Each structure stands twice: as C-alpha cells, then as structure tokens.
Chains A and B, each alone.
Chain A
Amino acid sequence: MARISLKNVRKSYGATHVIKGVDIEIEDGEFCVFVGPSGCGKSTLLRMIAGLEDITSGELRIGETLVNDLPPKDRGVAMVFQSYAIFPHMTVCENVAFGLTIAGASKEEKEAKVAEAARILQMEHLLDRRPSQLSGGQRQRVAIGRAIVRKPQVFLFDEPLSNLDAALRMDMRMEIGRLHQQLGASMIYVTHDQVEAMTLADKIVVLKDGQVMQIGAPMDLYHDPANLFVAGFLGAPSMNFVKVTVQGVNGNKVLVSNAALDPVEVSGKRGPFKVGDQAILGLRPQYLSVAEGAGRLHGSVALTERLGSETVVEVTLKDGSPLIAALSHDAVFDIGSQMNLEFDPAQAHLFPEDGTATSSRH
C-alpha cells in the first residue's frame, strides 16, 4: 500500500501539451477516480503513473520513491485495461499467474495465490478455460484476477467497464467497490462515466484539457463545484446555467435577477462580483420545485418526460432560455402552460460569467 503524489506533472508530444502541470495527492488506501470528457488526458495520466508513458517534467512518487524513470515493473503497480488485455494463448489460470511466473514464483505459491484470487472473484470454475471461451464480464474478472494476485501497492483501472453492457457494468462496479474494501489498496480509476465516479470514489479528480478542474470527495464536488465545468459535468441531468445580472452586493451575499428570475440573494464566494456584472447562476434540476405561490423563476412547459419515480420537465423561461427541472414525483403538465418554479437560494451556485476560474481543493 502506498500514497501517490504528483507534483507539477507535465506531458508533451513535441509542441502539443497533453498534461499541463498536474498536482494530485492520493492517500494510502484511497479510491481515486479521474474523470473528464474524452481527450482530457485522464488515460494519459494513468499511463504515466503506470510507467507506460514518459513524464516530460514534474515529480511522480509512489510511496517515498521517485518513480519518474522507473520501468513499469519496478513501480509496484497493477493495471486493468479497457480491452482486458488477457493473453489469448494462455488459460485463465496461466493468465492470472503470469506476473508470478515472470517473478519466478514456485508452483505451490502460484497455485495458492491463483486459488485465492479465483475465490475472491468467484471464478474457480473458469481456471482451465481459454479467453475465447469467456464472456466479456468473465474476461474482466480474469484481468482483475491478474492484477490482485501480485498484491501490488497500487491498482490502476483504465475505463474497465466501458465494454460491458449496462446491467453487467453495475454488477462489476459494485464488485470493484467491494474489492477495494476487501484489499484496502490504493486504487486509481479512470472513467468518463460520472455514475462510476460518484459511487466508487473516495476522491474525484475532474480533468479538462490536461488540467485539474477540481479535486475532492464526490459530494463536495457535487454540492460545491469550483467552476462551471465541474458544475456542468457532475450530476444528471446536468446543472442549469441561467444568465443573471448582479443587482447588489452585501458582504458575501449577492443579489441577482434576470427577466425570468425575481431578485434572489445567493452566496458570492466564487466572486468577486460587483453591481452590473453579468454572472451565471447554477441550479441543479433536482433542487427545483413547482412553486405553490408566485415562485422565483417563470416560464412555460415545453416538454415533459414521466419516468415514474420522477418527472423531468423542460421549461422555456420568460427570456427564452431553456431550463430543466427534475421533480421527485409523477406529475402531468400541459405543454405551453405557465410554470413558476421555486428553489432554495442556499442550493444555488453563482459563477463569474467567464466561468473558467479553476481551483484545486485537496
């Protein structure tokens, strides 16, 4: 087990900068998820930690050791690939034992450790099979088995569930979570699926264009996003962004409004804001409710989706901009009917208009 520390880590291919100075601390035994859109550099960062990509500059430490120039085999890491990467010419047993065979382990030791891994992953009956005889989920188990059998300091997962169908993905997600509790090892997990990130992580690192947008516990990121990108990326349906004008500033409180929004006082901690500024008000669809009185936001119903447990309503605000409300009950609305919405100002997030301010919170 070990902590992993990245200090100002950069990666360039010629003039193209892929990772632009990343600082991350991952504690011993922590489950850390790198999340971000395609091309944000999350997989590259993971491969740099694995030793499969060179580090252009910066420091990468696993435990106390500076591993920048160590080959993958000397880093004490195990990796599970998106394509599973199990060796097609070997049986499941030989695949799982591969690392031990390379390390020169005795036959008894290999048998004992493979049996242990097979028991943990419930695949004892598969050991004599060839990869071509396995389903996608079973192949993924073999890949995980190969990773856990060597008892590495750090586990690296590169989008391990993206090739599985939805039902199996949920099962395997829970299994990986259970595995983390069982093994207590540090794990780094790359995904573009925010559900995986939210459910598995102790710590989420949100990346965009090779830069860290925010680091924190899943709920901290959800409830207190540092910038527009994180706010929009986490949560489904994603956060509504309403353009507003600052009407007044009172200490840390900012009074905002627009044509569809009655003046409301919200926290201005991501400021500074001054009177007359344009700003963005972030409202999670789940925190909007139909007002019993006049409400704060005014528009008309454009579309409704009834999902049984909740109703997703698309509202066209008075100023013409769209807004999504996820109501936690089944409800019927007429298209075009007037709708007034209410929200708790404490749950609203005010961002400067450019929204690009980044912050790293450890």
Chain B
Amino acid sequence: MAMISADNRGLRLATRYAVLVLIALIFIFPLVFMVMSSLKPDQQLLQDSGSLRAFLPVGDISLSNYFAAFQRAPVGTFVFNSVLVTGVTVVLSLLVCSAAAFAFVFVGWKGRDVLLSILLATLILPFETIAIPLLMMVAHLPWLGMDGLTWGWLNSYRVQIVPFIADGLTVFLFVQYFKDLPGELIEAARVEGASWFQIYRRIVMPLSGPILATAAILKFLVMYNQYLWPLMVTQAEGYRPVMVGLQYFFQLNVAWGEVMAYLSLITVPVLAFYLYLQKAFIASIASTGVKG
C-alpha cells in the first residue's frame, strides 16, 4: 500500500511538473526563437524555422546580424529615446497619479466623487479616438524653452511624455490601494501634526511599495510599446522610439535576422526593468501596523 501511494505521489508530482514545464516552454519559446534566429543568417533561419533547430544555437552562428542592424538604423538613438521617454513618464506618472489618488481618497473636498467617476470613465475610451484631437492640440501648444516662446510640440520628447503622465488607470490602481490602507494611520498622523503632504510622503508612499511596482510595470509596458502616437508626432529620427524604429527593417528587402537582432536588443530594457521591480515588489510587501 505504502509503495503504491508513494508511487502515486511521485506520479502526481511528475505530472504537475510536466504541465508547468510545458506552460513555461510555451511562454519562453518565442523569446528563445527570437534570440536564436538573431544569431543565424537569413537562409538558415528560414530553413530552421520548420524544425526544432529553430530553438537551438546550431549551424552558422555569429553576431553579424547585430552589426548589420546597427548599420541599417540608429538603434542606440531609438533605445535611448524610448528609455528616456518611458523612464521620465513612469516617474512623473507615479508621482502625479498617486498624489491625485491621495486627494481622492484621503482629503475631503466637494465634487471628488463626481470627478473620480469622470476620470474612471476615461478608461473606456481607446486612445485612437482621442489621437487626432490630441495631435491638433499639441501641434499648437506653446513652449517656453531655450529658444524663447515657441508654438507646437511636434518632434520633441515632451510631446511623447506630457500627454501620458496622468491617466485614469494608474489613478484607479492607486485609489483602490489607498482605500485599503487603514484610515486610522492617516488620522493618527493628522493628530500628530502632519500636513497632507507630509502624510503623503512619510506615511502613504512608504506603504505603497507593491502598488508603485505594479503601476510602474504597467506604465512602462504601455510607454515602451508606444507606436501610433510617436509615429504621428515625430518626423525627426532623433526623437523616435524603438517601436517606430522597427519600420526601418521592413523597407525594401526584409532581413529577418536583422529584425530578430533588433527585437532582441530592444527587449533587454524591458526584461531588466521587470526583473528589477519584481525584486522590489517582493521586498516591499509591508506588514500592517494595525491589529489584525
């Protein structure tokens, strides 16, 4: 009996692992395929794609596709632009949206429920519906910069950053999280003499690690994957992000090895950012100070 039950347990465990491994492989195969293909010349890449060889580093392996990709397009500029635009937007978005959510949840003021409803209603609007009006607006906005007062924001970093700092989804995420924070912590800080800003900075933000990580990851992905908007508002190569840069590889003859090399390169920042925040996410799960 004992032997059979031990065998059963082993079998169950093996099945479970087999399923998990299969799921993991399904998710990881495209990435492996991308990286492996980026190392192969086009002819071999196409030949291999019908077999398991597509996922293995076999045959004529080299980094030549990477060199070619750098020659075909200003990859460094695209990656720099994307990282800059995404990084600045994520940081400003976390600050602005968390502050907005703080005001919605903790500070009592007239009309906040109505305003929050309107803000949340914006979630159902796809970006495409507001893209044209937004384009017409940013094309005529003033800017006070090094060159004095200028009109129109096209071909700049700010046109890719400012419209995306505040968004309903991020505010909503913070609102939901803040509502679950124990209200007595905020009241205790108020009685102790803290201003709203001090409560935001010293109490609420330090307890918001998990939601900051979540909001940052979501915002990062949206910003890094921007395609339509930067295509509309940037004509100059110097301001274009990675996704728009992909176009450079689909003009005239398509070199799939170079496409894969480019894709591998632009995936690196995403993976690095995700792995970094995943660690922060786990480290920042706060224990509650309220009896529970």
Contacts and interface: CB of A to CB of B under 8 A. Distances in A.
A163 interface: yes
Given A85-B184, A87-B185, A89-B206, A50 B290 contact: no
B184 to A, nearest CB: 4
A72 interface: yes
Nearest to A84: B291
A166 interface: no
B244 interface: no
Among B188, B189, B194, max chain A CB count under 10 A is at B188
Interface string A87-118: 11100000000110011000000000000000
A262 B190 CA distance: 61
Contacts of B287: 88, 130-132
Contacts of A88: 207, 286-290
Task: Give the size category of A's interface with B.
Answer: 20 to 34
B183 to A, nearest CB: 9
A83 B187 contact: no
B49 interface: no
Contacts of A77: 191
Contacts of A51: 190-191
B192 interface: yes
Contacts of B189: 87, 98
Interface in A105-140: 130-132, 136, 139
A146 B192 contact: yes
Contacts, number: 84
A73 B291 contact: no
B191 A50 contact: yes
Contacts of B59: none
B192 A150 contact: yes
B190 A52 contact: yes
B193 interface: yes
B115 interface: no
Task: Give the size category of B's interface with A.
Answer: 20 to 34
Interface in A241-262: none
A72 B182 CA distance: 18
Interface in B234-292: 286-291
Among A71, A82, A98, A143, max chain B CB count under 10 A is at A98
A78 interface: yes
B191 A84 contact: no
Contacts of A81: 184, 187-188
A180 B191 CA distance: 20
A85 B292 CA distance: 11
Contact of A99 (B187, B193, B289): B193
A52 B137 CA distance: 44
B198 interface: yes
Contacts of B194: 73, 98, 102
A94 to B, nearest CB: 10
Nearest to B292: A83
Nearest to B290: A83
Contacts of A50: 187, 191
A9 interface: no
A87 B289 contact: yes
A4 to B, nearest CB: 15
Contacts of A52: 187, 190-191
B192 A99 contact: yes
B203 interface: yes
B129 to A, nearest CB: 39
Contact of A102 (B198, B207, B288, B289): B198
Nearest to B287: A132
Interface of B: 182, 184-185, 187-195, 198, 203, 206-207, 286-291
24 contacts: A52-B187, A71-B190, A72-B187, A73-B192, A78-B191, A79-B188, A81-B184, A83-B182, A84-B291, A85-B185, A87-B188, A87-B189, A87-B203, A87-B289, A89-B206, A98-B194, A102-B192, A130-B287, A131-B289, A132-B289, A136-B291, A139-B289, A146-B188, A163-B291
